[in-house]
């Protein structure tokens, strides 16, 4: 044990102050645990700008090296859109995201992957292997303006300065289909690759019916057990509304824990299902007959750091607390500008439709599933909270949670007050959510709030990537255009 500790303390990461005493202690204990185990490989990963895990796999004996020197990865991984195309001019002197000498990522040079021992998990479906998450940094160790975990940690620190913590609970909808063709022919290896061909796992619409659960129980049991083995505190497994649509919910936790959990959950579900001939997807609205859209409902409660009191509990007369009012008002005030962080794909905006148990306007209501924010608050109820129903399940959880903290915190510091709750969310004159990714890009790009809170470097970076995706999308001839004009003209 002391040998590992000395090795880490004498390493390059510790010498430049990138590992504190707590991290060194945790890393030392982890290395001893791995040395005494039968583990063969460790997948050293980071969450990219899209909330996709990327990284390298090392043999278990090499694990000490990532705590002494970190691990290198190509910087271009952070410069790609969802097709894996690099959208910045990396072969020019200025890559387009330079803000200082450290930020010059031209030439496809390396970044540093800085490991977090708290994220280490042995994989139940592949027990000879494990995951460990890292923070992507510049080679010097300096924080990148677009590093997802670092960005969320910064937002959490800002909230703590107000003597507040945020607790979040996850409700995550997704689909699992039977795979009929994995599309592995050479011609299918495009960018992006051709999607798998599938059929439903269970017949028809489900609506929480027991017999549908029984049919899907084998895979749901496997997913649940994997969550539990990885210390993700799953609460329920549900047969959702649509065909082959499911939902997992999780006990409340702090934002960083649940952002990591969301990354682990999505990757675990896809990997476990793929190994069983199934295809799992967190795409919001698959282009398949009779499918339903999937949403991500984020429960939120504010907690006083000193007393542990839930600040979302209403007053004795039932009126909402000042803290709840300010937090809701902040989320509403910046909802449109936040959509690039909560709903980052072209597909996600096809969920914002009336009468679909999804929001289409910026408003809140009491226990109302049609409103963007659903208030679940009652006097004396220690579980009082709000539920933001705006996000798609493909969202980067670190960016999503950051948007909630910064928006809600601004509502508090600016002493904003929530409007009256709505009862008929699809019949109000409340402003609409953005109707497309293009509109979300424009609003985020022009946002004085996010340029101040997150910096010009991040705003310019993310809008460049998403604009590249939009350009590819709208310049492609669609099936609708072919059907509409090919015969007519």
Q: Per residue of the chain (489 residues), what is the pLDDT tens digit?
A: 688 999 999 999 999 999 999 999 999 999 999 999 999 999 999 999 999 999 999 999 999 999 999 999 999 999 999 999 999 988 876 766 655 545 567 778 899 999 999 999 999 999 999 999 999 999 999 999 999 999 999 999 999 999 999 999 999 999 999 999 999 999 999 888 999 999 999 888 888 889 899 999 999 999 999 999 999 999 999 999 899 999 999 999 999 999 999 999 999 999 999 999 999 999 999 999 999 999 999 999 999 999 999 999 999 999 999 999 999 999 999 999 999 999 999 999 999 988 888 999 999 999 999 999 999 999 999 999 999 999 999 999 999 999 999 999 999 999 999 999 999 999 999 999 999 999 999 999 999 999 999 999 999 999 999 999 999 999 999 899 999 998 989
pLDDT at 444: 98
Could you give the CA distance from residue 277 to residue 220 in angstroms, rounded to a whole number?
A: 14
pLDDT at 446: 98
Place of tokens 């670190």: 398
pLDDT at 102: 59
Buried b (16+ CB within 10 A) or exposed e, 44-65: bbbbbbbbbebbeebebeebbe
Could you give the CA distance from residue 393 to residue 53 in angstroms, rounded to a whole number?
A: 15
pLDDT 10s digits, 276-307 = 999 999 999 999 999 999 999 999 999 999 99
Pair of tokens at residue 365: 């209501």
Could you give the CA distance from residue 63 to residue 162 in angstroms, rounded to a whole number?
A: 38
For residue 310, give the DSSP letter.
Answer: B
Could you give the CA distance from residue 335 to residue 430 in angstroms, rounded to a whole number?
A: 12
Residue pair 452/139 in contact (Cβ under 8 Å)? The answer is: no
For the CA atoms of the chain, what is the radius of gyration? 23
Measured in degrees and rounded to the nearest 5, phi and psi for residue 100 equal -165, 180
Residue pair 265/172 in contact (Cβ under 8 Å)? The answer is: yes
Q: Mention every residue, 6+ apart, whose C-beta is less than 8 A from residue 50.
A: 82, 344, 394, 396
pLDDT at 103: 58
Could you give the CA distance from residue 400 to residue 407 in angstroms, rounded to a whole number?
A: 11
Could you give the CA distance from residue 272 to residue 55 in angstroms, rounded to a whole number?
A: 19
pLDDT at 104: 64
Could you give the CA distance from residue 246 to residue 213 in angstroms, rounded to a whole number?
A: 9
Torsion from C-alpha of 62, 133, 451, 18, nearest 10 degrees: -50
């Amino acid at each position: 044990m002391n040998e590992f500790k000395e090795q880490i303390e004498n390493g390059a990461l510790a010498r430049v102050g990138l590992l504190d005493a707590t991290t060194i202690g945790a890393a030392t204990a982890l290395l001893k645990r791995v040395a005494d185990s039968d583990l063969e490989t460790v997948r050293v990963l980071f969450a990219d700008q899209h909330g996709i895990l990327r990284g390298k796999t090392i043999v278990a004996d090499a694990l000490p090296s990532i705590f002494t020197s970190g691990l290198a990865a190509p910087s271009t991984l952070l410069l790609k859109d969802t097709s894996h195309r690099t959208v910045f001019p990396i072969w020019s002197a200025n890559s387009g995201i330079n803000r200082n000498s450290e930020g010059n990522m031209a030439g496809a040079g390396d970044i540093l992957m800085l490991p977090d021992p708290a994220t280490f998990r042995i994989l139940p479906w592949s027990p000879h292997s494990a995951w460990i998450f890292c923070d992507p940094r510049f080679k010097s160790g300096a924080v990148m303006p677009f590093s997802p975990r670092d960005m969320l940690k910064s937002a959490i620190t800002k909230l703590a300065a107000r003597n507040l913590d945020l607790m979040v609970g996850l409700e995550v909808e997704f689909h699992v289909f039977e795979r009929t063709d994995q599309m592995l022919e050479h011609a299918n290896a495009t960018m992006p690759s051709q999607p798998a061909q599938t059929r439903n796992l269970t017949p028809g619409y489900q609506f929480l019916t027991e017999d549908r659960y029984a049919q899907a129980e084998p895979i749901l049991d496997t997913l649940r057990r994997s969550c539990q083995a990885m210390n993700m505190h799953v609460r329920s497994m549900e047969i959702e509304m649509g065909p082959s649509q499911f939902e997992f919910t999780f006990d409340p936790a702090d934002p960083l824990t649940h952002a990591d959990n969301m990354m682990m959950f999505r990757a675990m579900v896809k990997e476990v299902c793929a190994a069983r001939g199934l295809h799992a997807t967190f795409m919001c609205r698959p282009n398949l007959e009779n499918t339903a859209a999937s949403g991500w409902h984020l429960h939120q409660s504010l907690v006083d750091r000193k007393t542990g009191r839930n600040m979302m509990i209403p007053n004795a007369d039932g009126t909402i607390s000042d803290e709840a009012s300010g937090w809701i008002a902040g989320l509403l005030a910046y909802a449109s500008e936040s959509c690039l962080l909560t709903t980052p794909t072209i597909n996600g905006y096809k969920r914002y439709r009336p009468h679909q148990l999804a929001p289409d306007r910026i408003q809140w209501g009491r226990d109302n599933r049609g409103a963007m924010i659903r208030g679940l608050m009652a006097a004396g109820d220690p579980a009082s909270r709000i539920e933001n129903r705006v996000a798609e399940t493909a969202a980067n959880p670190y960016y999503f949670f950051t948007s909630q903290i910064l928006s809600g915190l601004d509502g508090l510091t600016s002493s904003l007050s929530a409007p009256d709750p709505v009862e008929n969310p699809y019949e109000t004159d409340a402003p609409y959510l953005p109707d497309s990714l293009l509109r979300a890009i424009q609003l985020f790009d022009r946002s004085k709030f996010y340029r101040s809170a997150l910096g010009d470097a991040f705003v310019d970076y993310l809008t460049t990537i998403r604009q590249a995706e939009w350009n590819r999308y709208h310049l492609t001839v669609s099936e609708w255009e072919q059907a509409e004009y090919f015969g007519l003209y």
